[in-house]
Amino acid sequence: MSVLPILHWPHPRLSQIARPVGAVTDDVRSLAADMLETMYAAPGRGLAAPQVGVLSRIFVMDATWKDGEREPMVCIDPEILGASNETVEFDEGCLSIPGVIMAITRLEAVRMAWTALDGARVIAALDGIAARVAQHELDHLDGIVTFDRLPDAARAVALDDYAAVGA
Ligand code: ZN
């Protein structure tokens, strides 16, 4: 396993739509292992393949490891099947936008399907931080970053902050 370099916005790969993965091959398992190592080293709660330059629909997450045991998840070809009507605003960082925290409104709970590393299709209900991380990482697979989730005025402020950080 190895820690991979994380691309910073506005790298063009962060604005592109990733391709479906399909079969879980040795290459996919190897990429997932490297992405988990990279995420924990960063340290972060989630990492999507485009953030390490790979335009494949795969992300890794561990919503709670900073508060306890590691519970790594590898989500391949994820899709949202359903969602709560409730939305919630919460401060979010992004490993590709270091130094800027943005208040992002997201669905409070989602039902998500994905392919796990063993090739099985999994369906789970996510809420709290897990729902937030999953939606953030799924956005990356569609070329969407936190700036894109902000109203125009807030986006302008966040872009100024990011420029000031000098990333
Ligand atoms: Zn991110």
Q: Phi and psi (nearest 5°) for 59?
A: -140, 160
Contact 140, 122 (CB under 8 A): no
Mean pLDDT, residues 34-38: 98
Beta-carbon count within 10 A of 12 CB: 9
**Four-residue CA torsion sign, 116, 122, 126, 131:** positive
Ligand 1 ion: nearby residues, β-carbon < 5 Å = 94
Q: Which secondary structure element, helix H or strand E, spans residue 132, and what is its range? A: helix 128-141
pTM, entire model: 0.96
CA 3 / ligand 1 centre spacing (Å): 17
Q: Is 53 left (phi over 0), alpha (psi -120 to 50) or beta?
A: left
pLDDT value of position 67: 86
CA 2 / ligand 1 centre spacing (Å): 20
Write the pLDDT tens digit of every residue in 11-32: 999 999 999 999 999 999 999 9
CA 136 / ligand 1 centre spacing (Å): 6
CA 32 / ligand 1 centre spacing (Å): 16
Amino acid at 13: R
Q: Phi and psi (nearest 5°) for 135?
A: -65, -40
Q: What CA–CA distance (Å, rounded) separates 161 from 54?
A: 27
pLDDT value of position 8: 98
Residue 92 pLDDT greater than 80, yes or no: yes
pLDDT value of position 167: 56
pLDDT band with cut points at 50, 70 and 90 for residue 166:
confident
Q: Is 101 left (phi over 0), alpha (psi -120 to 50) or beta?
A: beta
The mean of the pLDDT values for the chain is: 96
Give the residues across from 104 on adjacent strands: 90
Write the pLDDT tens digit of every residue in 104-159: 999 999 999 999 999 999 999 999 999 999 999 999 999 999 999 999 999 999 99
CA 85 / ligand 1 centre spacing (Å): 24
Q: Phi and psi (nearest 5°) for 56?
A: -125, 145
Six token digits for residue 148: 């894109």
Catalytic sites, residue numbers? 137
CA 126 to chain centre: 14
